Amino acid sequence: MTERTAGEASDSAAPERELRFDVEGAPVSAITARPPGAGATVVVAHGAGAGMDHPFMSGFTRGLNALGLATLRFNFPYREAGRKMPGRPAAAIAAWRAAVDTAAALAREAGTEGEPVFAAGKSYGGRMASMAVAEGLDASGLAFLGYPLHAPGRPGQLRDAHLYGLTTPMLFLQGTNDPFATPNEELVEVVRKIGPNAELLWIDGGGHSFEVKGVKRTPAEIGRRAAEPVAAFVRTTLPPVE
């Protein structure tokens, strides 16, 4: 793992550091930040069409930092290589394992051995996190920022089979106008079938990136707003302080 101070973080609640870690022998980029007293880290993966530097991603992680949580956002290998389309799921799952291991190592360096590590992802990134957990990744919780339940216009082809049986706490943050999860009743039923460890929060009028028609907000601001319910989810999931 190699790192240097990031030069872009003037609006962040905590200094950001750029680093790189290996995924199956190839380095990928990441940015981490740790506010004083952080008791948990949220690892965040981007969606299929944008990397970790998208304003939504930086706004989201900086929003979490402002709320007292450490973060690590990273690129999947295909994005690091300059490709626009995701590769095989196994590569994304390997990236998730390496990212969580890196977050745990950073927590040890900060003197917080065994700190809870949560996995959050925008669309594809969240889906890959859940698949990694289904294959044994140890995460304290999963936060989905617009879960891609199905391709737009294909509600009969659900991407839900691996979710059932997971006992990890889950938060689905979803826009009511998200074409990847309409009609809304389908996601409601999926969450019901998962069980009491899953929670669903709707953003009224929100699209796949939580944009609301007629409401002018930048992607960074949308990301910062999305951080609030995710931080609340993390806080309620953490074990009580003795």
pLDDT of residue 1: 56
Number of domains in the chain: 1
135: containing domain = 2-237
What's the pTM? 0.92
Nearest Cα neighbor of 31 from 43, 22, 48, 23 is: 43
Indicate which CATH number applies to the domain containing 87. 3.40.50.1820
Q: Is residue 215 part of a domain?
A: yes
Asked whether 48 and 124 are in contact (CB, 8 A), the reply is yes
Q: Is residue 54 part of a domain?
A: yes
Distances (CA, A) of 157 to 8, 196, 198: 41, 24, 21
Q: Is residue 17 part of a domain?
A: yes
pLDDT band at 49 (very low <50, low <70, confident <90, very high): confident
Q: Is residue 223 part of a domain?
A: yes
Q: What share of the chain has pLDDT > 70, as a percent?
A: 94
Res. 131: pLDDT tops 90: yes
Residue 153 CA from chain centroid, whole number: 25
pLDDT band at 12 (very low <50, low <70, confident <90, very high): low
Angle between the N-to-C axes of helices 55-66 and 219-237, in degrees from 0 to 180, rounded to the nearest 10: 40
Res. 197: pLDDT tops 60: yes
Q: Is residue 242 part of a domain?
A: no
Q: Is residue 141 part of a domain?
A: yes
